[in-house]
Structure 1
Amino acid sequence: MSVADCEQEKAGWGIFEGLPGDPMIWVLIFSELAAFGLFLGAFIVTRALHPAIFAAGQATLDAHLAGINTVVLVTSGWAAARGTAAARAGRRQVAHGWLFGAMTLGGLFIAVKLLEYAGEIAEGNGLETSAFFTLYFLLTGFHLLHVGLGIVILAVVSRSAEASSVETGAVFWHMVDVLWVVMFPIIYLVQP
């Protein structure tokens, strides 16, 4: 489907008109943002109710690894944006290369996050350790699943490197980026 066909199809979607990518990705993104919003809201409210538990849990986290992961994920978003620009210009091989870079960085994010989890588990922290760790593992684990899904989506759209498909995949990937940029300070930096 050409970009013009995609734009014409979106014209019937009202609120989605003018947004990049397929309108259905936006339905998915809005539902995912609502789910993450509820998770983050639960985290913030529970932290306000139990500041000592959250301070103790947060003190055991490795903010340096999380900071590295932030740089990795933001850089992968940049690579996905470059891939989108290349696909729009009809440069499919270049788009494929940028998307491969984004996927590779997404894989690095997963590896670093699993390393961080291994450290937490080695210290005896798990889902049942405290309210902090229950919400920490659920929230970051849910995000980690989305990183994995995003890699799969980028792999699928990279095969054809068609502009509208790449744009749709990149939109999902940027949602994953933005969520982490919001989660990182709330979980690792903001003191209870």
Structure 2
Amino acid sequence: MTVDLRTKTATARGPRRIPGEAGIWVFILGDLFIFALFFVTFVVDRSQETALFDASRAELHISWGALNTLLLLTGSLFVVWSVHAARDGKLPEASRFTTWAMGCGVLFGINKVVEYTDKISSGHGPDSNIFFTYYFCFTGLHALHLLVALCVLGRMRWLLAQPDFDQQDMGTLESAATYWHLVDLLWIVLFALLYLMT
């Protein structure tokens, strides 16, 4: 027997609500504010050393960045499907989608390690110039967020395996999904700033 955990929508049944718990939104807004400051600093420094930033950006492989973007977007799709399946009471299906999202995150991490190794072995380490300092700091912070997101998804899988999964667990699941989408959003901005901005 499955339990329908779908949230109420803006109908006669009740008001529309923001998914997840209030605390995750406070964290996300704070995190976004800090990253926004980092991004503004990057753009200001880039405007002062355009030639250096352009030459350094040319050393990055856009295909690797694009692959990582695709992996995180695909992972986000799996997370959305997982939440929808859980709301419909299809917990094994939700767990499967969560596992696939975790796989996308792990592949992202492997690709990033390969990219770091390539950059460092070709003489472009964090201390090479200001662009690569930003590159390693920003992508390193993002990798830390990704690691946390993978742990959060692992917790989601554990919750989905519990026979007494309930509405409170659904809130935790939604919060975890929201955090994953933050990681995705941050990467999309980083991809644009570091790999595409001219």
TM-score by length of 1: 0.89
1:89 aligns with 2:92: no
Give 1:169 shift. 0.5
Q: Please list the CA deviations of residues 112-139 of structure 1 after superposition, one character each: whole Å capped at 9, or x if unmatched.
A: 0111111100111111111101111101
In the superposition, the TM-score normalised over structure 2's length comes to 0.86
Partners of 1:109 and 1:55 lie apart in 2 by 25
Task: Flag the structure with higher helix content.
Answer: 1
Give the equivalent residue in structure 2 for 1:150.
Answer: 149
Q: How does 1:119-134 map to 2 (within 5 A)?
A: 119-134=118-133
> Which stretches of structure 1, 4 residues or longer, exceed 6 Å deviation after superposition?
none
Is residue 173 from structure 1 mapped to residue 180 from structure 2 by the alignment? yes
> After the TM superposition, which of the residue ranges 120-129 and 161-170 deviates more from structure 2?
161-170
Q: Based on CA coordinates, which of the two structures has the bigger radius of gyration?
A: 2
Stretches of structure 2 that go unaligned for 5 or more consecutive residues are 9-15, 161-168
What is the distance in 2 between the residues matched to 1:123 and 1:94?
44
1:101 correspondence with 2:100: yes
**1:122-163 CA distances to partner (integer Å, 9 max, x unpaired)?**
111111111101111101110111111101011112211242
Gaps of 5+ in 1: 8-16
The one of 164, 167, 170 equivalent to 1:163 is 170
**1:121 partner amino acid:** I
Matched, 1:110 2:109: yes
1:60 alignment partner, SS class = coil
Secondary structure, counterpart of 2:41 in structure 1: helix
- Give the deviation of 1:3 after TM superposition: 6.3
Matches within 5 A, 1:1-192: 18-161=17-160, 162-191=169-198
RMSD: 1.8
